[in-house]
Structure 1
């Protein structure tokens, strides 16, 4: 799903993984832990002044970019302002969740930055947002001369300008990407792995073969069949954990017949969810809501089970003729939980067509599919989503708030009730009230929204036994830290 290596634009799992190993933010989470820790900032202070919060960051004077130049407050302000001005999918994290504006990012001096936020924003939520790759700090002196009409995105696809442990060597589109260790990394020990090659491998059988033969040191998203085959291999360790991803079908709420809420509800009732969990061989849990297991606001309510008669009744009520055709966009390759996307799509097609609808499956490279989806041109779209930071708002705003130009926008679901509910829950400071508000939002989106929520997957990685230091942390950016890994 790799589309870009620009931190201000990257919003797919592969891009976030790679960007997170080349760039750093002011704060982060230690892999496997939930407490915020300093990175480029060695400290911060939150103060309240009337109707504004001020977060004052003190930058680490030792922090340098790969070029050797120091990281300054001016670089931070440039990076965040650039992300807002590019205004691609992840920009809402800064503009909406943090209510950030360029004017409120104030470099006091080279080592001090003030961020002013309205008191309607939770500073702790905003600090969590700042761990995400959108808030990564780029070297202004390197990027600014290469801005051009695209503000430097094309240049950043072939060059890196970060302070992180790795630098970009080359990106062969749709094939592989190579990173080299930053030999002058400021943040401690230079990474043990001098070169990391990420290879695009779509066929599950090829993933298994690569880890068995040692052609790959680590593979991700193994399916249940491959995991079972590798379980007894003395040279391989299986590392698994419940991800924060959610697999879903998006339904464009302005394209007939999906513009009718009854049709969307009918499709939700057409799916045999238990069969899908069985297909995944235990690599998933049934989740029919927009907030994943483990997050505040997750309700555990799964109100839908297959009921073809009810689905047909809803379609008849909506005046939808039998044989009505809907295009169904499906990625190629492996989906969450290690199931092939086309296999999952075929199952959904078989279920939904029992209602009399006809689905026309169109398989596309993920990058191509996302371009269509982001232009609001999909009808049904099979996809997955993961929160950008470990807070329920990391899912609630994208799924519910059309104004954020994320998932609700991609599915053209502009619902004022959902928008206001998500905004109110995001800024509520009382945990009990906030939990209840998210529960109400979850219920509203389940029955009114443009989604068929399917499952929350377990991610299974195969790791050769001569590899040490591998940690999968779904709440961290990146979710695998290459600099912790070594190899005998």
Structure 2
């Protein structure tokens, strides 16, 4: 993203607002006059989905698929995080910002033939919100993090979710929440068929049923997921594809080889160093995803010696970020000094990053009681991610940096779903991970990744388990304030404390490259890291 994104939900809190976008349907419907293309698109990716239950996942590989099976109440524009209608056609908020009313689209069916209506919306959100709901099976960590907790918990911002009539639903909040509308656009808050939930229970992740452009057909674990065109999709004439297959090819180079051979049609996780090679192939094209991410080194603040801020600061000074970028990102990244990317408003540009200074890092270690360094495990992701295209090699480079100041590390990895589960449980001493923003609001980075309320194993999004009352107070105040300028100042102040405490090492903000056959038309990479294939076609 080249400039900051303004959020509709903030303006809404200033007074009553009714929105219906430029039309009652997303921009993609402007193409319905065209004759739909057909064919099968094969998408090559580095890892498998964890689950196809959108309410119970946080990883991009899961959302890459669920976004094509389900719809949410609202969505984002194809190029940015501006809110547009989806299953809700209009919405309004009360003057105090505590009541949100949504008018729902009529004549929409789930893939199992059942009706989408207000009852379905209430059932889905009650499932996530209420621990006593019969289908509250899972940790629902995203819901907990974005809405402050579950029903009955002190931090929960939601007071009531109710049906007004068959196609109107209302959310009543305990207090205004500035990012509320932007949050609802996130892939995790998609609407699942209530009948499918009742039928499949905790196996809904293997039997997904939504209202989206594609219907689930088959899942071969660690190999492929196949979805087929929903002929009764509510956007007339869409989708254009007959079928999409999400194919797992773990190695980036092997994935590029498959693309060149015509075995797949598009791939993510392209090594930046291979961009020029793709540009030189007349059969292929480069697609760049707008930057809205951070790759970071998490330091578990509850485990010795990372409970000592001087040790954390020493690690920050030991990592040569410029060296990493030169070696692995081919100019498609910039060093990160904050967890918040500079493409978002609220970014504190005045913070000075920890300098790369091994000698000063050694001095800090000595002051912390480790004059000879120490030994620890260093966890590295098994799959390439948009913010980290070669995690194992990046881990080895950081391992070499840390060895220079006496920190000896053993690199450890696990299968992707296990890696996520274990880091959320806080089992790691230090671990590579990252975050791609979901909604264009600073809250989605700072509150999710670093608020004390989200340092809650076994479902911690704040995997550094960092707990700061000062940061918490600033982030909560920012959530309940309508003035964006005031919110921005609160986020800037929070970043000062975060930088001083050094709970993690922000490494890079990337512009992730994708490669595709030139036969692929209409593919628009979204800043949030995944996108619908509803408008994509393939001409073979």
- Confirm or deny that 1:117 pairs with 2:173: yes
- Structure 1, unaligned runs of 5 or more: none
Question: 1:388: which partner in 2?
Answer: 438
Which residue of 94, 109, 112 corresponds with 1:64? Answer: 109
Report the secondary structure of 1:104's partner residue: strand
1:122-162 superposed Cα distances (whole Å, 9 cap, x missing partner): 2xx20110001222111112212332xxxx2xx22221121
> Alignment partner for residue 47 of structure 1, among 90, 94, 97?
94
SS in 2 for 1:364: coil
Q: 1:97 to 1:187 in 2, by over 3 A?
A: farther
Cα deviation 1:82-137 (Å, max 9, x = unaligned): 12334432122453299767751011121110111134322xx2011000122211
- State the partner residue of 2:392: 342
Runs of 4+ in 1 over 6 A off after TM superposition: none
User: Residue in 1 aligned with 2:18?
Assistant: none
Q: Is the 8 A contact 1:63 1:187 kept in 2?
A: no
2:527 corresponding residue in structure 1: 474
- Give, in angstroms, the shift of residue 421 of structure 1: 1.8
Give the aligned partner of residue 147 of structure 2: 95
Alpha carbons 1:44, 1:56 under 8 Å: kept = yes
Going from structure 1 to structure 2, the CA distance change for 1:145 and 1:18 (only over 3 Å counts) comes to same
| Cα displacement (A) at 1:414 | 1.9
Q: TM-score, normalised by structure 2?
A: 0.84
Count residues in correspondence. 476
2:33 corresponding residue in structure 1:
none
What's the RMSD between the two structures over aligned residues?
A: 2.0
Residues 40-87 of structure 1 deviation map (CA, whole Å, 9 limit, x = unaligned): 1111111136xx621111111122211222211111111112123344
SS in 2 for 1:48: coil
In structure 2, what is the equivalent of residue 231 of structure 1?
279
8 Å contact kept, 2:51–2:206: no
3-state SS of paired residue (2:534): helix
Match of residue 307, structure 2, among 250, 255, 259: 259
CA distance in structure 2 between the partners assigned to 1:456 and 1:193 by the alignment:
33
Checking the alignment, whether the CA contact within 8 Å between 1:158 and 1:168 is kept in structure 2 is no
Please name the residue that 1:108 is paired with: 164
Post-superposition shift, 1:305? 2.1
Evaluate the alpha carbon distance shift between residue 186 and residue 71 of structure 1 in structure 2; reply closer, same or farther with a 3 A threshold. Answer: same
Partner SS state of residue 225, structure 2: strand
3-state SS of 1:157 partner: helix
Q: 1:36 aligns with which of 83, 101, 108?
A: 83
Counterpart position of 1:299: 348
Change (3 A) 1:408 1:319: farther
For 1:68 and 1:100, the matched residues in 2 are separated by 34
Structure 2 unpaired stretches of 5+: 1-46
Paired residues of 1:221 and 1:459 also in contact (CA < 8 A) = yes
Q: 2:241 aligned to 174, 182, 193, which one?
A: 193
Q: Which residue number in structure 2 is paired with residue 414 of structure 1?
A: 467
Of residues 398, 401, 404, the one that matches 2:451 is 401
CA contact (8 A) 2:449 2:463 kept: no
Specify which of 346, 358, 361 is matched with residue 408 of structure 2.
358
| 2:232 corresponds to which of 184, 201, 206 | 184
